[in-house]
Amino acid sequence: MWDRHLVSRAWSIAELRRLAKRRLPRGIFDFFDGGAEDELSLNDNIQAFQRLKLIPRPLVDVSSIDLSTLLLGRRSSLPVAIAPTGGPGFGRHGSDVAIARAAVEAGIPYTLSTSATASIERIAREAPGGRLWFQAYILKNREFLAGLLNRALAADYDALMITVDLPVGGKRERDAGNRISFPFQFTARHFRDFAFNVRWLAGMARYGMPMVENLIGMETQATNAGRIASSVGRSYDPSFDWDRLKRMRDEWPRRMIVKGILHPMDADRLTSIGIDAIVVSNHGGRQLDGAIAPIDALPAIVEAVGGRAEVWVDGGVRRGSDIAKACALGANAVMVGRATLFGAFAGLEAGASRALTILTDELERTMQLCGARSIGEIDRGLLHESSVPASAVRRPFKEAR
């Protein structure tokens, strides 16, 4: 009840982040909040949105605003989908389900991660009536991966999202410093950090350490928390290539999304093999540090795709105005991950719903102040041209093979 009261008073995603940070042990918070190496990309993802400047257009009747749009042929109440996030239950038990239910309530799609702490079937059962997508990492165990896709199909997930920017795990130095590995293992070093976070510790004592439910039964290499390289990439297949992606597209009978694209040539090639949507993403700054911010890469990719597939963007979305800026640069939608995670850690479903309410209210207000009455009316004219990035990559450095 107290958590619900706190999150109901949160006025921004930054405030929900503060509440989540206060509730979690430092190492656990850093696992979700952090990025790779010097966190240049992590920070630039947010700053890139801040560099874009809006031009208000007054004297428009903005008494009625339509925030809805079509995503993969179906109506979404917002140009927003929930991004896949690994291990939410390590932050707070029930976070996966809480975010999925909040998405159902908000009328937007929810993407379940391979490495979530709720199973494919559990989300389908506990978030009924929702629009569910399943995100697949490319596992070395191909038979196990095929089983996951069959389970998602049987549970009526209506789209498959393939993440392609994780052939190996990023170098996440906050995790190394905190001796945090994934799946998580307690060590004596963690005792002091955890002992001062009574509510988090009580939850773990009551419910037990969460499991990566979709990966139960898959033999995985034991983690070594002392290694600097992130452990999340240990089970993933670095040999995955265009030919295998094409075979997956041919075999999957429903919509397919590819996440983790920053180069326009790659986006162009994806449309040629029948990919329905492309997520411009640098994995939230958690993989290659120094990679271009997705919002900066977006214009060139939109141009390369030319309407043959939907283009979405993630990374750094913290304000409703960020959603408007992405749409102005040609995105069909944004994906949000950390924003709803912070909300769920602070207040479970009430917190995740609060995060989406904050973004919705800010988007509506931004559109009213800029004279845009619908998502379709948001265009490049909303942005001051001097703040808009030039095409991200105008000349290919090599042909993709």
Digit-coded pLDDT (tens) for 91-144: 999 999 999 999 999 999 999 999 999 999 999 999 999 999 999 999 999 999
What average pLDDT does this structure show over 30-36?
95
Confidence of residue 248 (pLDDT cuts 50, 70, 90): very high
Domain ranges (residues) in the chain? 2-387
pTM for the predicted model, two decimal places: 0.92
Which residue among 5, 263, 283, 384 is the active-site one? 283
> Crossing angle, helix 26-33 and helix 338-370, to 10 degrees?
50
Q: Quote the pLDDT of residue 227.
A: 38
Tokens read off for 72? 């993969």
Residue pLDDT, tens place only, 330-374: 999 999 999 999 999 999 999 999 999 999 999 999 999 999 999
Lowest average pLDDT, out of 176-190, 209-223, 333-347, goes to 176-190
> Crossing angle, helix 320-328 and helix 40-51, to 10 degrees?
80
For residue 157, pLDDT beyond 90: yes
Percent of the chain with pLDDT over 90: 77
Confidence of residue 187 (pLDDT cuts 50, 70, 90): low
Half-sphere CA count of 204, side-chain side, radius 13 A: 20
Task: Note if the bond before 183 is cis, omega within 30 degrees.
Answer: yes
Q: Which helix (H) or strand (E) holds 135?
A: strand 132-136
Residue pLDDT, tens place only, 52-88: 999 999 999 999 999 999 999 999 999 999 999 999 9
CATH 1.10.3720.10 fits 2-387, yes or no: no
Q: Quote the pLDDT of residue 6.
A: 85
Dump the DSSP string for 254-269: SEEEEEEE--HHHHHH
Residue 105, Cβ density class (10 Å: 0-12 exposed, 13-18 middle, ≥19 buried): middle
Half-sphere CA count of 12, side-chain side, radius 13 A: 7
Query: Is 384 assigned a catalytic role?
Result: no
Sequence-distant (≥ 6) Cβ neighbours of residue 177 within 8 angstroms: none
